[in-house]
Amino acid sequence: MILAAALGCTWSGAWAQANAQEAGQGLGLRLGTVGIAVDYVRELRPWLDLRVGYAFGRVSGSTEEDGIDYDAEIEFGSAFALLEYRPWRGGFRIGAGVHGAAPDIGLVTRADNTQYQIGNSTYTATGRLDGDIDLGRVAPYVGLGWGGTSAGKGLGLSFDVGVMFADRPQVRLAAQGRACDSTILPCNPAGPSGFDVNDPDDARAQTFRTELERERQNVENEIKDLRYWPVVNLGVHYRF
């Protein structure tokens, strides 16, 4: 009986200690400038959490780049992993980690006898201009946050602000349709003064494509700061 009592006390003490040392964990849902994100957080140390998740979504809007108005679509789709340091073991946290991919940005503008400045030349065009902005794949991240940690229990809110360090933007532009030099009158893309912008044998089309390459470089230079992608998220978390 003495042995049984001793074993019982030992087991009860071990069970209590295991419960006291059980790592905190939680699930979260966020919405912000990296789309919709779902994540799982687990305590590694009383002052350190591991957060893993996936961000996804699509946002449409409009933008003006180098004088041309585009319809823009931003697509998010990236797994992420972060280590978050909690210096006071509370809600405030300092995070660093990596996103598997930066956002992808698509551009399109449609022309119907519309005048554009392409590079250093002015054209009247009928057709469309498609673009894509590539910010690379793996993107390191650093930021600050409040809430959504492994500490505590139950439902809570979270806020994050930080920066994702993507690659220098790489821009692709591709034109379809017909155009004419607006400085040569009469200018009618469908008439004798017009040309197919992708005609390999037309000198006017070759000049257009040279100007389009200059335009691409102008856009790349104008958006170079997109490599520092701002991250602002609001979220809700459940800790258990």
pTM (two decimals): 0.82
Domains in the chain, please, with CATH? Answer: 25-239 (2.40.160.170)
Q: Per residue in 48-93, pLDDT tens? A: 999 999 999 999 999 988 889 999 999 999 999 999 999 988 889 9
| 198-to-126, 155, 205 alpha-carbon distances in Å | 13, 58, 6
Report DSSP state, residue 227. Answer: G
Q: CA–CA separation, 54 vs 79, rounded Å?
A: 4
- Residue 143's nearest CA partner among 202, 74, 230 is 230
Q: CA–CA separation, 97 vs 143, rounded Å?
A: 9
Q: Per residue in 163-204, pLDDT tens? A: 999 999 999 999 999 999 999 989 999 999 999 999 999 999
